[in-house]
Structure 1
Amino acid sequence: MHFTPTNIEDLPTPCCLIDKAKMQRNIARLSAHIGNLQCTLRPHVKTHKSIEVTKAIIDAGNVKGITVSTLKEADYFFKHGMNDILYAVGITPNKIAHVAQLIQQGCDLTIVIDNEDMLSLVLDKMAEHNCVFKVIIELDTDGHRSGVNPHSHALLSIAKHINNSAHAKFEGVMTHAGESYACFTEKAKQDMAAQERDLTLHAVKRLFEVGIHCNTVSIGSTPTAFAVDQLDGITEVRAGVYVFFDLVMAGLGVCDIDDIAMSVLGTVIGHQKDKGWVITDAGWMAMSRDRGTADHPQDYGYGLVSPSGSHETRYIMSDANQEHGIITEVSNASPESHSEKHIGSSSKSSAENNDSIFTQFPAAKAVEILPNHACATAAQYDHYYVVENGVAIDKWLSIGGW
């Protein structure tokens, strides 16, 4: 599809922008790090759901297959030539027919399980289809969400149950260190990365001792992927948000603000001068409802505004309605998380307010806003504008839904 280069000020708003150079730099950074540790990446494409971004990741090297979070993603990426796919959400019986269809079409698709009850149910459904399903067991290595305890008897029981089935093949284990999103120091991230790796390898050892081999030993989160220093015994690392980064990752020290490759472009539609508010046409439908920085030392509300492209920490989207975003000075921000108050609102009168915010953001001004959670923001859009030097040079499609 031909795209005519367009100055970003002339794009329809709200829209989602990708800084191509920053994205490529972010991709190269993790590819090099994991490559230096003699391991491979299985990137999580749920962040962007875009074939163009995925191709950029593959071009950077050290990639073995992809990770998806929906079967719609699996369909889309398989159609576009990606064959080795891990569907990294626990499987349910009502999805087995869809999985079977992909396998029968030639997709090398692996599914995930973490409990005996669900395994019994899905094995019954598998028997209805003429194919063998590759299954890995999800491990809980940090108490964050789902998964089997690596020390438990259930781990061995589930693996044996899979191996004893004529319809399933045990492939290995995976885990996700979601608690790394609460690790604000480098040591905390390093410790979490070591815990994620070591508990996974402990599970592999226990399975080996009862004669069960793991072809796949998969770990990963963006914070631990950058923090890990040794990957012996690990076959692949999964991460997703690193391609764009976001304010949560910057708050954890995984990246700098200037590394964030995604922004939402909005337009100033009005002012509430007595309140110190600038109103934009980018609300929570454009940014998402994610308030991932609410518990961080610096709370960015619904996003950090970049008035001049420098991403200075001065203005934030302190509150948002469905199609309206409220921009205020960060100096007025409240530390309270999940407050009904506008995070950046001021109690000063209009006479006391500094009018610089209205000078910075006159009517019809284009405003770039960095997101808290790139995955959630990206999911609001079916395309991205790819930007170089303030000019949109291409339009990349993405998919959504399940």
Structure 2
Amino acid sequence: MTTSLHTIETPAALIDVQRMQRNIEHMQARMDAFGVTFRPHVKTAKCISVTQAQMAAGARGITVSTLKEAEQFFAAGITDILYAVGISIDKLPRALALCQRGCDLKLIVDNVDTAHALDDFGKTFNATFEVWIEIDTDGHRSGIKPDDETLLTIARILQESGMTMGGVMTHAGSSYDYHTPEALRAIAEQERAGAVKAAQRLREAGFSCPVVSVGSTPTALSAEHLKGVTEVRAGVYALFDLVMHNVGVCALDDIALSVITTVIGHQEEKGWAIVDAGWMAMSRDRGTQKQTHDFGFGQVCTEDGTVLEGYILSGANQEHGILSHAGETDHDIRNRFPIGTRLRILPNHACATGAQHPHYAALAHDNSIDIWPRFYGW
């Protein structure tokens, strides 16, 4: 199905394919130069076409955040899949079904109770899984500290239960909180060193640990070296967003995802233009609010993607967006953005904005558009 940029109904999630391809190729070239495997996280787009572009560029295997993603991408022909969320015991039958159909699915664990539950499930159903241990290298979220004795306890339970010890993985999510090259290089090194230390402890204790997996978009783009690491994971890099721009790892012109919207009204005394993209189109994510530059609900651009400095989506109701100039009232807003004006809004968080839409309008270099389906659910 094809249409054109100027006729697609708004609001719509738009992927600039040239920008996306440039982002993908840059990241893959960087990982190739480091000599590590690159396993992109596909949760951002949840779209077969985007992932196929990543695989074509040289990615080997993918990372997912839901079993729905694993099932969809396996059905599309990708077999090497890391499910990078601690496994919930009620999902083990689905995970086993995927493995039995030929999926090379890896699970992660970060606590003794889940390790025991895997043991119990394995004995009950004569099942084995490849399991990676999640390491906490920055206190951001989940995982075991690299020097915690629990690391070896979990490895012992997995080994005795017949599970395959695949390796360790970590995610320096706190990298999103930084915005200078020096700080990003430091957190990237902290991530690398912590994962490598955990792997060394496992190996010294006699456990197998073939994979040392690290990654986030900021650390992947900031690491100075990756000694001891075997693979890197990153996801939002393919599309980027305003949070990543504030972190300092992309320019506004690198952001490949936007929402096409139409001006439908004005409040001239307030300096507002009203558009048909509210938070149902943009999401409620206000991730830039706590950063050095607050973009409201998104940065306003012309329909062709030119950034309109100072103009942001400053407010959002369910289906109405409020466009205004940050810091001063534009009393000429009606003439500047007449009824029917079509604009692009760059999002705060690509994952959240993408999740609001059933498909993407994929914009090619000739301004033609293909429709790329995406999926929802767990």
Q: Same fold (TM over 0.5)?
A: yes
Alpha-carbon distance between aligned partners in 2 of 1:178 and 1:390, rounded to the nearest angstrom: 37
Partner-residue secondary structure (3-state), 1:296: coil
**Structure 1 segments unaligned to the other structure (5+ residues):** 333-345, 347-352
Contact 1:103 1:131 in 2 (8 A): no
Is residue 2:132 matched to residue 1:155? no
Partner-residue secondary structure (3-state), 2:13: strand
Structure-2 residue corresponding to 1:56: 53
Partner-residue secondary structure (3-state), 2:9: coil
Contact 1:314 1:329 in 2 (8 A): yes
**Cα shift at 1:389:** 4.5
Structure-2 residue corresponding to 1:93: 89
Alignment of 1:130-279 (within 5 A): 130-166=126-162, 168-279=163-274
Alpha-carbon distance between aligned partners in 1 of 2:16 and 2:125, rounded to the nearest angstrom: 45
Deviations along 1:201-249, whole A, 9 cap, x unmatched? 0111111111012121100000000111211221110000000011011
Structure-2 residue corresponding to 1:4: 2
Structure-2 residue corresponding to 1:336: none
Alpha-carbon distance between aligned partners in 1 of 2:107 and 2:309, rounded to the nearest angstrom: 42
Alpha-carbon distance between aligned partners in 1 of 2:349 and 2:369, rounded to the nearest angstrom: 24
Alpha-carbon distance between aligned partners in 1 of 2:188 and 2:267, rounded to the nearest angstrom: 47
Alpha-carbon distance between aligned partners in 1 of 2:49 and 2:264, rounded to the nearest angstrom: 33
**Cα shift at 1:381:** 1.3
Contact 2:121 2:127 in 1 (8 A): no
Partner-residue secondary structure (3-state), 1:233: coil
Alpha-carbon distance between aligned partners in 1 of 2:126 and 2:205, rounded to the nearest angstrom: 29
Structure-2 residue corresponding to 1:127: 123
**Cα shift at 1:276:** 1.2
Structure 1 stretches of at least 4 aligned residues deviating more than 4 Å after TM superposition: none
Structure-1 residue corresponding to 2:75: 79
Partner-residue secondary structure (3-state), 1:46: coil
Partner-residue secondary structure (3-state), 2:313: strand
The equivalent position to 1:374 in structure 2, one of 331, 335, 350, is 350
Alpha-carbon distance between aligned partners in 1 of 2:226 and 2:70, rounded to the nearest angstrom: 27
Contact 2:11 2:261 in 1 (8 A): yes
Structure-2 residue corresponding to 1:363: 339
Contact 1:44 1:68 in 2 (8 A): yes
Name the Cα RMSD after superposition.
1.3
Alpha-carbon distance between aligned partners in 2 of 1:389 and 1:362, rounded to the nearest angstrom: 27
**Cα shift at 1:4:** 2.9
Structure-2 residue corresponding to 1:321: 317
Structure-1 residue corresponding to 2:15: 18
Contact 2:263 2:342 in 1 (8 A): yes
Partner-residue secondary structure (3-state), 2:280: helix
Deviations along 1:50-105, whole A, 9 cap, x unmatched? 111111111112x2200000000000000000000000000011000000000000
Deviations along 1:275-328, whole A, 9 cap, x unmatched? 111111111110111111001111001100003521132210111111111111
**Structure 2 segments unaligned to the other structure (5+ residues):** none
Is residue 2:34 matched to residue 1:37? yes
Contact 1:144 1:177 in 2 (8 A): yes
Partner-residue secondary structure (3-state), 1:155: helix
Partner-residue secondary structure (3-state), 1:298: coil
Contact 1:186 1:227 in 2 (8 A): yes
AA aligned opposite 2:218: P
Partner-residue secondary structure (3-state), 1:120: helix
TM-score after normalising by structure 1: 0.91
Partner-residue secondary structure (3-state), 2:218: helix
**Cα shift at 1:128:** 2.9
Alignment of 1:292-331 (within 5 A): 292-307=287-302, 309-331=305-327
Contact 2:18 2:365 in 1 (8 A): no
TM-score after normalising by structure 2: 0.97
Partner-residue secondary structure (3-state), 1:144: coil
Alignment of 1:282-293 (within 5 A): 282-293=277-288
**Cα shift at 1:390:** 7.0
Alpha-carbon distance between aligned partners in 2 of 1:392 and 1:91, rounded to the nearest angstrom: 41
Partner-residue secondary structure (3-state), 1:363: coil
Alpha-carbon distance between aligned partners in 2 of 1:230 and 1:285, rounded to the nearest angstrom: 41
